[in-house]
Amino acid sequence: MSEHEYTPKSKVGKWFNDRLPLLTLANHLTDYPTPKNLNYWWTFGGILTFCLITQIVTGLVLAMHYIAHADMAFQSVEHIMRDVNYGWLIRYIHANGASMFFLAVYIHIFRSLFYGSYKSPREVIWIIGIIIYLLMMAAAFLGYVLPWGQMSFWGATVITNLFSAIPLVGEGIVTWLWGGYSVDNPTLTRFFTLHYLIPFLILGLVVLHIWALHVPGNNNPIGIDIKKPSKDTVPFHPYIVIKDGFALLMFMIVFAFFVFYTPNILGHADNYIEANPLVTPAHIVPEWYLLPFYAILRSVPDKLLGVIAMLSAILILAALPWLDTSKIRSAVFRPLYKQFYWILVADVLILGYVGAMPAEGLYLLIARIATAYYFLHFLVVLPVLGFKERTTPVPLSITEPILGGSPNLAAVKKKDSFKDQ
Amino acid sequence: MKNFLRISFLIALFFGFQFNSNAAEKVEYLKTDWSFKGPFGKFDRAALQRGYQVYQEVCSSCHSMKYLSYRNLVEEGGPEFSVEQAKAIAASFEIKDGPNADGEMFMRPGRLSDKFVMPYENEKAAQAANGGAYPPDMTVLVKARGGGVDYIYSLLQGYEDPPAGVTLDDGVYYNKYMYGNKIKMSNQLSDGLVEYSDGTNASVEQMAKDVTTFLMWTAEPHLETRHRMGFKAIVYLIILTVLVYFSMKRIWSRIETKV
């Protein structure tokens, strides 16, 4: 936070600000000292805010025309696609927007993993982020059920049935979730209600996420603590605003390409068949962004243990600040961690791939190895690496390479070559 | 800038995986040139009108088209029949309406505002008339099948004698593009089955192409608007991106850090 006191220039402004310091907040946000070496991987926070707002706005319009009833939901979606003015556009933005949201959040999370943004003093930002991610998955799953196509119905059946793995009370919980003895109208209406609620919970958590960020300030590619404000920082406005804006526009081009030219490629064809409880689709597959966890779920032969493995795969991330024992944040100065990082990226992509494949034969074997490695990375590699790894020297400040005379010039050069190669 | 290449690479990788996973169990479908493919794709008006004729004379006796209204036949971006033509089409169907003032249901000629008449009263009736198989509604059929238009186009021409060793039950037919190769719909198209008013030769291939084009339109009635708007939107975004890029360079030139 900028420590200097802010006083509005106008009388009215001062009067209002004394009663509710909104202008002080606005001043804080524009002046907010940001490390000047942030690269484009740091623009995804802004992009994610855009995604959330887009989903809320398009979702509101869709909710005006959608009918949450088992007999009418599918039809009302077709009504939106055909008869509502630009309804097809709103729906395609919303449907592809979910995929774009997850694409951005995965980049955001993996950026954090690479540069150690989750480490002290930013653990709370990280944990709030994980809660947001969990809520996003819930919202996406609930939303996918609403069109009441075959994948909606059977996806809902499979996922809710996971709760039946809980000993003793499992079956009861599933009946309670469904509001009956199978996925049916009561399930749809409650899913719609919750799908409408969750984005606003996410919005609240995003405010906390940003608030928590503004206490220590941004991490940066070299992962060092910096003085704020100083030569190492730039004010958020205009420097970061314009850079985030530029990156957002690039992102929107990709987004627009999907919406206008391949709007259904990320969805499953079966979801254009109206839900039918009597016909099970050949393969029940979740959306691409849930596939790695689906692969973990299926790689464990026991249902309960599978569910536990899947949940642990997400929750283990919350413990990450304490599992990673290295004092150095950025992977730039951690040669070994950097290797393991990319192995993890590959591992998750492999999990996503086998998650889309039938759980049999070679695919199942690969899924099991990849699942084991996933946990190995967090439970063994990270804690051990913190003690064993020989890190390269870290510069004292961001401006150091420019001012010269650095005792760690080699490391700094290396960092630069990383950035610009 | 290198970072953008990295981002693009990651995106490509992500969706590459996705395409790959969709491509499992691929059969080589018959290929044809679809006028509506590509960023500037438009429907071939005449093909849509012929396709409607094939649907009406061949498919509609079993397959419903429940999300389409007769008025849609007039709308821009579709077959674009004239209002008179569409009214005549609608009026050729009897619609059950009511109840009237006496509480009676009655039949009346169709209007533009009516939905397409269903071939069967309900799903059970449809199954009873088709040996237990329900002929799926055709409105969004091309979007509801993995192979899309290529699949439908191929399926219509994919009837063959079963290979040796494959025995078919009564009312089951062999089709090389059908999932599992067994289909309860018999071969519907034969050369010269319909008589096109525009003089086009009604070969099986031609009819399959026309009716599939028509089904693409019923599934995506706003496809042409979408393509037009998409082009404008993306050009607009690119121009804005370039402008913002140079503004950003200018603003960041005040400090020594490269952006």
How far apart CA B113 and CA B107 sit, in angstroms, is: 16
Q: Does B77 touch chain A (CB under 8 A)?
A: no
> Given an 8 Å threshold on Cβ–Cβ distance, is A245 in contact with B244?
yes
Average pLDDT over residues B232-243: 98
What pLDDT does residue A210 have?
Answer: 98
> Given an 8 Å threshold on Cβ–Cβ distance, is B140 in contact with A272?
yes
HEC secondary structure over chain B = CHHHHHHHHHHHHHHHHHHHHHCCCCCCCCCCCCCCCCCCCCCCHHHHHHHHHHHHHCHHHCCCCCCCEHHHHCCCCCCCCCHHHHHHHHHCCEEEECCCCCCCCEEEECCCCCECCCCCCCHHHHHHHCCCCCCCCCCCHHHHCCCHHHHHHHHHCCECCCCCCCCCCCCCEEECCCCCCEECCCCCCCCCCCCCCCCCCCCHHHHHHHHHHHHHHHHCCCHHHHHHHHHHHHHHHHHHHHHHHHHHHHHHCCCCCCC
How far apart CA B186 and CA B172 sit, in angstroms, is: 8
In this prediction, residue B92 has a pLDDT band, given cuts at 50, 70 and 90, of very high
What pLDDT does residue B7 have?
Answer: 60
Write down the pTM of the prediction. Answer: 0.92
Residue A336: both structure tokens together: 């070994």
- What's the pLDDT tens digit per position in A59-91? 999 999 999 999 999 999 999 999 999 999 999
Name the minimum distance, in Å, from the CA of A144 to any CA of chain B: 16
Residue A305: both structure tokens together: 């243990």
With the C-alpha atoms ordered B36, B40, B45, B46, is the resulting torsion angle positive or negative?
negative
CATH architecture of A31-284: Up-down Bundle (1.20)
CB B58 within 8 A of CB B193: yes
- Mutant choice from B6, B11, B13, B15 vs A, greatest count of A C-beta within 10 A: B15
Closest residue of B to A41, CA-based?
B3
Q: What is the ipTM of this complex?
A: 0.91
- What's the pLDDT tens digit per position in A299-341? 999 999 999 999 999 999 999 999 999 999 999 999 999 999 9
What pLDDT does residue A229 have?
Answer: 87
A275 has pLDDT over 80: yes
Name the minimum distance, in Å, from the CA of A270 to any CA of chain B: 5
- For chain A, give the mean pLDDT: 93
> Given an 8 Å threshold on Cβ–Cβ distance, is B241 in contact with A242?
no
What pLDDT does residue A148 have?
Answer: 98
Average pLDDT over residues A276-285: 92
Name the minimum distance, in Å, from the CA of A415 to any CA of chain B: 14
Domain assignments of chain B as residue spans, ordered by start: 224-259
Name the minimum distance, in Å, from the CA of A347 to any CA of chain B: 13
Domain assignments of chain A as residue spans, ordered by start: 31-284, 295-390
- What's the pLDDT tens digit per position in B116-140? 999 999 999 999 999 889 999 999 9
A223 has pLDDT over 70: yes
In this prediction, residue A16 has a pLDDT band, given cuts at 50, 70 and 90, of very high
What pLDDT does residue A419 have?
Answer: 44
Residues of chain B contacting residue A249, judged by C-beta atoms under 8 Å apart: 237, 240-241, 244
Residues of chain B contacting residue A260, judged by C-beta atoms under 8 Å apart: 39, 226-227, 229-231, 233-234
- What's the pLDDT tens digit per position in A178-205? 999 999 999 999 999 999 999 999 999 9
Average pLDDT over residues A256-271: 96
> Given an 8 Å threshold on Cβ–Cβ distance, is B18 in contact with A36?
no
How far apart CA B44 and CA B217 sit, in angstroms, is: 10
CB burial string A358-369: b at 16+ within 10 A, e below: eeeeebbebbbe
- Mutant choice from A273, A294, A360, A399 vs B, greatest count of B C-beta within 10 A: A273
What pLDDT does residue A398 have?
Answer: 84
> Given an 8 Å threshold on Cβ–Cβ distance, is A41 in contact with B3?
yes
HEC secondary structure over chain A = CCCCCCCCCCHHHHHHHHHCCHHHHHHHHHHCEEECCCCHHHHHHHHHHHHHHHHHHHHHHHHHHCCCCCCCHHHHHHHHHHCCCCHHHHHHHHHHHHHHHHHHHHHHHHHHHHHCCCCCCCHHHHHHHHHHHHHHHHHHHHHHHCCCEHHHHHHHHHHHHHHHHCCCCHHHHHHHHHCCCCCCHHHHHHHHHHHHHHHHHHHHHHHHHHHHHHCCCCCCCCCCCCCCCCCCEEEHHHHHHHHHHHHHHHHHHHHHHHHHHCCCCCCCHHHHCECCCCCCCCCCCCCHHHHHHHHHHHHCCCHHHHHHHHHHHHHHHHHHHHHCCCCCCCHHHCHHHHHHHHHHHHHHHHHHHHHCCCCCHHHHHHHHHHHHHHHHHHHHHHHHHHHHCCCCCCCCCCCHHHHCCCCCHHHHHHHHHHHHC
Share of chain B above pLDDT 90, in %: 81
Comparing A331-335, A351-355, A396-400, B190-194, which segment has the lowest mean pLDDT?
Answer: A396-400
B244 has pLDDT over 90: yes
Share of chain A above pLDDT 70, in %: 94
What pLDDT does residue A418 have?
Answer: 45
Q: Does B11 touch chain A (CB under 8 A)?
A: yes
Name the minimum distance, in Å, from the CA of B201 to any CA of chain A: 32
Q: Does B145 touch chain A (CB under 8 A)?
A: yes
- Choose among A378, A339, A230, A356: nearest CA to A293: A356
- What's the pLDDT tens digit per position in A371-419? 999 999 999 999 999 999 999 999 888 876 544 444 444 444 454 444 4
- What's the pLDDT tens digit per position in B10-59? 666 656 555 554 544 567 999 999 999 999 999 999 999 999 999 999 99
> Given an 8 Å threshold on Cβ–Cβ distance, is B21 in contact with A357?
yes
> Given an 8 Å threshold on Cβ–Cβ distance, is A288 in contact with B237?
no
CB A109 within 8 A of CB A130: no
Nearest residue, CB atoms, B256 vs list A79, A259, A402: A402
Nearest residue, CB atoms, B145 vs list A78, A242, A269: A269
What pLDDT does residue A184 have?
Answer: 97
